[in-house]
Amino acid sequence: MTVTLNFHGAAGTVTGSCYRIVHPQGQFLVDCGLFQGNKSVRDLNYKPLPFDPGKIDFVLLTHAHIDHAGLLPKLCKLGYRNKMLMTEPTAGLLEYLLPDAAGIQESEAERETRKRGRRGEEPAEPLYTMEDAVETLKRRTVVRYGEWIEPGRGVRARYWNAGHILGSASIEVEVANGDAQLIRLLFSGDIGPDEKVFYLGPDAPSGFDYILAESTYGGREREDYTLVGRREALRTEINDALKRGGNLVIPAFAVERSQELLHDIGLLIKEGAIAPDLVFLDSPLASKVTGVYKKYGAMFEDVELGAGELFNDPRFRIVESVEESKEINSIRGGAIIMSASGMADAGRIKHHLRNNLIRANATVLFVGYQAPGTLGQIIQSGAREVRIHGIMVPVRARIRSLGNYSAHADQSELMMWIKARLPAHGALFLTHGEDEERAALRAAIVSSGGLAGDQVILPLLDDAFELRAEGVKGLHRPEAPRIDLSQMSSDWHNAYASFIIDLSHLLKGAESDARRLRIMAALKAELAGAADAVPPVPPRTMPPGTAIHAEPSGE
């Protein structure tokens, strides 16, 4: 029996990281993350898992980000009762991240239930509950960096620093196949950039049969920067925003990004480089996570504030209660407001955007990756109007982006990490990236001579590869895909919302009511005969580098 590697997430999209390895003595997962992005992608969270959770022997977790760990409570809800292995800081972060995620799921289900109730429909079920999150936390088992563990029969694993967030890891795995051969794999997790506060650079051994590497920024290069240069760029953005007289709103992930920003803002205030009236971190989760960062402060590198000063500037207001959060709405200028989520898809940041986007003197600063279809990406792309909480909000604020706070390596840094891990005798799989990003990284790797073209593979969702020490034997593809793959980057829901906004502007801008009626009549006439004339969308084809015989899979 061979070893089979299944890609149940982060294949053709950045989120939903989940890899399943089936081997002669069992099967296990590496990560089990939440899908984020447009509605079609998010709907994957609610569909049946493409495997039986009760048959999974254990889970190896790379880090605590929700797109890597956010479906663990669903796994437990559906019957998983075995251990989940992770570093100690990851276990500490999950203490707060998973209950917070469960609270969001329950709140969204309550809101949807109220809508359905008005339509006389059945109530909505949450993806998982607080009880499921608590059950998940019981499964945590802590491992140390650099030490071999044997989590199950026929499997050894070792964790290495990935330099991404607190506790993040790349995971080295050895799996015995049916011929008593060892298949050696390396799962990158998310790789941090070279210049990053808090951590040393990512590390791992070299020489594997198979490497799975993330490719979030596989086609992009950030401007060269040092930590000092990054703070200088932040100083410029903050001072420019405050000079305009309004607030500076920063959507920031509760884990890592918020803490890095607090560190740098505190240092800039101490140096007299900026002078905001107040700095709000409006996120109960970020408040708790910041406490975890303080606990593990001894692990940090390149931190220029002492332990007593870290996150403790007197202008900082770490907000937890709803009442305090609402009071921020009365502040019209001079404040920095950071709040989760980083892609503006959920949480209190949506309230602050709704309150500030309409103000021409306000600034919104994006400091991280914005997945296609998220509110953050729509604002960042230049939309004149966005829908928040069911209300159309005009975008009058100044929109800015600062890429140097990304927790992901860019193309050059990914290339360096991959080359340092070679040789890969079997193949390199590029995951955790949009198709254009990983295709660009593949082209760069092949052109550099690091690997042959057929050794760099771009898997699709739910693809399963049979692995041998000498190379990939075959590819199995599901008979019924869980999603129309053409909808993963930008789906019809996004197109519909954009169309409605454009139509609204067209009608409002018409010179007369008669003209508006003629526009609508012409559209109705066009629509009446258009449905049958629209050609079907061709299926998404296999990306380059995957010319392997494909068979339908019954799994």
Tokens for 242?
């405050």
What pLDDT is recorded for position 413?
Answer: 93
* CA 499 – CA 448 distance, rounded (Å): 43
Q: By percentage, how much of the chain surpasses pLDDT 90?
A: 58
**Is 544 domain-assigned?**
no
- In this prediction, residue 551 carries a pLDDT of 39
Co-location of 337 and 279 in the same domain: yes
Classify residue 249: in a domain, yes or no.
Answer: yes
- Tell me, yes or no, whether 158 and 271 share the same domain: no
Task: State both tokens at 148.
Answer: 């071999």
How many domains does the structure of the chain reveal?
A: 2
- Dist. CA 221–CA 103, nearest whole Å: 37
- Split at pLDDT 50, 70, 90, the class of 94 is very high
One domain, residues 204 and 253? no
Q: Are residues 432 and 382 in the same domain?
A: no
Provide the mean pLDDT of the chain: 88
| Per-residue pLDDT tens over the stretch 210-238 | 999 999 999 988 776 778 888 899 999 99
* Residue that the structure tokens 């966005």 belong to: 386
Q: Which range is least confidently modeled, 126-130, 332-336, 428-432, 527-531?
A: 527-531
**Looking at residue 244, which CATH number applies to its domain?**
3.40.50.10890
Quick one: 38 and 141 in the same domain? yes
Note the maximum CA span of the chain: 79
pLDDT tens sequence across 451-466: 888 999 999 999 999 9
Is 417 found in the same domain as 306?
no
**At residue 19, does pLDDT exceed 50?**
yes
Question: Using one digit for the tens of pLDDT, what is the confidence trace for 229-270?
Answer: 888 999 999 999 999 999 999 998 888 888 889 889 999 999
Assess if residue 554 is contained within a domain.
no
More reliable by pLDDT, 15 or 304: 15
- pLDDT reported for residue 257: 83
Examine residue 341 and say whether the peptide bond preceding it is cis (omega within 30 degrees of 0): yes
509 within domain boundaries? no
pLDDT at 550: 39
Contact 329, 355 (CB under 8 A): yes
Give the pLDDT confidence score for residue 546 in this predicted structure.
Answer: 45
Phi, psi of 50 (to 5 degrees): -85, 25
Residues 368 and 399 in one domain: yes
Look at strands 3-7 and 19-23 and give their pairing: antiparallel
pLDDT score at 497: 74
In terms of Cβ atoms closer than 10 Å to its own Cβ (0-12, 13-18, 19+), residue 220 is middle
Residue where a domain terminates, one of 487, 514, 529: 487
How many Cα atoms sit within 13 Å of 204 on the Cβ side?
36
CATH of the domain at 427: 3.60.15.10
117 with 206, same domain: the answer is: yes
> According to the model, what pLDDT value does residue 532 have?
60
Residue 543 pLDDT > 90: no
Look at residues 433, 467, 487 and tell me which one is the last residue of a structural domain: 487
Please state, for a pLDDT cut of 70, what percent of the chain lies above it.
Answer: 91
The answer on 171 and 41 residing in a single domain is yes
Residue 490 CA: distances (Å) to CA of 13, 214, 226, 371: 11, 21, 34, 10
Q: What pLDDT, on the 0 to 100 scale, is given for residue 531? A: 58
- Asked whether residue 375 falls in the same domain as residue 415, the answer is no
| Residue 116 counted as domain residue | yes
329 in the same domain as 182: no
- Give 43-75 pLDDT, tens digit per residue: 999 999 999 999 999 999 999 999 999 999 999
Long-range contact pairs involving 345-352 (C-beta distance under 8 Å, separation at least 24) = 345/36, 345/374, 345/375, 345/376, 346/104, 346/108, 347/104, 347/283, 348/282, 348/283, 349/249, 349/251, 349/282, 350/375, 350/388, 350/389, 351/325, 352/249, 352/282, 352/328
Residue 481 lies in a domain: yes
Report the pLDDT averaged over residues 440-452: 92
Do 293 and 188 lie in a common domain?
no
Query: Encoding tokens for residue 35?
Result: 């899908």
The DSSP 8-state label assigned to residue 486 in this structure reads G
List pLDDT tens digits, range 498-508.
787 788 888 88
pLDDT for position 536: 57
Pick the more confident residue, 369 or 446. Answer: 446
Sequence length of the chain is 555
Choose the weakest-confidence range: 51-55, 117-121, 484-488: 484-488
Is 494 inside a domain boundary?
A: no
395 in any annotated domain: yes
Q: What pLDDT, in 10s, does the model give residues 302-343?
A: 565 554 556 778 899 988 888 999 999 999 999 999 998 888
Domain extent at residue 398: 228-405
pLDDT at 303: 60
* Torsion angle, alpha carbons of 64, 65, 67, 72, to 10: 30
Q: Which of 405, 438, 469 is the last residue of a domain?
A: 405
